Amino acid sequence: MGLKDLLGRLAGPQSYGDAMGRQAWEGGSALANMVFISHGAGPSGRPAAIFDSAEEMRAAGFRPRYAEITEIVLGSLSREEQLLLRSLQTAMVSFAFIVNSNGALQNMQRDNTSKFRNGLGPSLLRSMVQSGLYDKIEVAQTQLLSYANAVGSASASAVLNLEKPGAGDLLEHFILKAVTAVLTPHSYVFARSGPTGFDVAAIPVVQETLKSIAAATLHYKW
């Protein structure tokens, strides 16, 4: 047994979960930024929705916020936009948490799944606080659980629709839930694909996470 294998076995699934918690924050946050960049706004009173493209969004009477993928400058955002971005950050980090949890459940033995989650959850919550998204662990936990507990009530048939991300899946449910948490005089919609589509970020977040968990589980026989 090599040194790397020995260290992996000694660290165990909980330490691995701790590392994946930090990665879940990074991946979820990046996905949230892409979903935000894909958004468009229109008059109030219209339900949040996900369109296939910015062109469909315009045809429905909504104005895309961005024309291309770019860095989000917080100082350039209105108060309402800042609230939307914050809400999407919580939603997409929670989405990444569910992806990790499901990956462990699908691959690991039951006791190792519990150990993995015991490392994943606290690590992710610390990242949410250290990033400045929330001031306290308790508040971050409440927000994360509000999404985790909503999984059972979601009508989604899959965590992510790989052929059409954000269509009939948990990702769509979480994006729309994030919008309802924002009190705004505008209606918000999002573009799935195209120059500012969020699909290019959503698919890697899920595929790379599941691949990593499956590989680690097989390698260390968790």
Q: Which two tokens stand for residue 148?
A: 């985790």
Is residue 154 pLDDT above 70, yes or no?
no
Of 42-51, 92-101, 109-118, which range is least confident? 42-51
Look at phi and psi of residue 165 and say left if phi exceeds 0, alpha if psi is from -120 to 50, else beta. beta
* CB distance 140 to 128 below 8 Å: yes
Residues 6+ apart with CB under 8 A from 173: 150, 154, 155, 156
Mean pLDDT (whole number) for 137-156: 87
pLDDT digits (tens, 9 = 90+) for 187-206: 999 999 999 999 999 999 99
Query: What pLDDT does 38 receive?
Result: 98
**What contacts 129, CB < 8 A, 6 or more positions away?**
135, 136, 137, 140
pTM comes to 0.93
Q: Mean pLDDT over residues 165-180, rounded?
A: 96
pLDDT at site 7: 43
Give the rounded percent of residues in the chain with a pLDDT score beyond 90.
87
138-152: burial string, b at 16+ Cβ within 10 Å, e else: eebbebbeebbebbe
Task: Give the C-alpha distances (Å, rounded to integers) separating 10 from 5, 16, 153, 215.
Answer: 9, 11, 38, 17
For residues 77-93, give the mean pLDDT: 97
Measure the N-to-C terminal CA separation of the chain; round to a whole number of Å.
16
Concatenating the DSSP letter of every residue in 148-217 gives HTTTTT---SBS--SSSTTSSBHHHHHHHHHHHTS--SEEEEEESSSTT-THHHHHHHHHHHHHHHHHHH
For residues 153 and 218, which has the higher predicted lDDT (pLDDT)?
Answer: 218
Look at residue 185 in the predicted model and tell me its pLDDT: 79
| Tokens standing for residue 167 | 């269509």
